[in-house]
Amino acid sequence: MATMKTGVTVAVLCGGLLAACGSDPLECKDTPHKTAVSFVLKSKHEVGKENPEIEAAKAQAQSKWEGEVKEKFGAEWASWANTKRRGHTCGAPPGQDAWTCEAEASPCKKK
């Protein structure tokens, strides 16, 4: 049971189609796995706007991450959708066109 600021008490439902309260349906590795891809940016990048080359590099880094995790831990660990603490970072030194995109996440599998 939880009491909201309005003074109304509501019940928190667990089970059924949802995972039981307090249990995590995933088993995760403690250490994140990181991979990177490098590329030369051919088009001008404007901060705050999507760039198809950068988006493609993120997808490539994620795909590479999945392949490496599958090889290292097995296919059940290699789903990006099941990861925790995941993210992409992309960048280049100032004034350079050589970019790197990294994908990093803690691999998880369903229990």
What is the pLDDT at residue 85? 87
Predicted confidence (pLDDT) per residue in 79-108, tens digit? 999 999 899 999 999 888 899 999 999 999
Predicted confidence (pLDDT) per residue in 30-68, tens digit? 999 999 999 998 887 676 788 899 999 999 999 999 999
CA dihedral 86, 88, 93, 97 (to 10 degrees): 160
What is the pLDDT at residue 22? 60
Q: Model's pTM, two decimal places? A: 0.74
Parse the chain into domains and list their residue ranges: 26-110
Per the CB < 8 A criterion, the answer to whether 31 and 87 are in contact is: no
The C-alpha R_g of the chain, in whole angstroms, comes to 20
What is the pLDDT at residue 96? 87
Report, as an integer, the average pLDDT of 15-20.
44
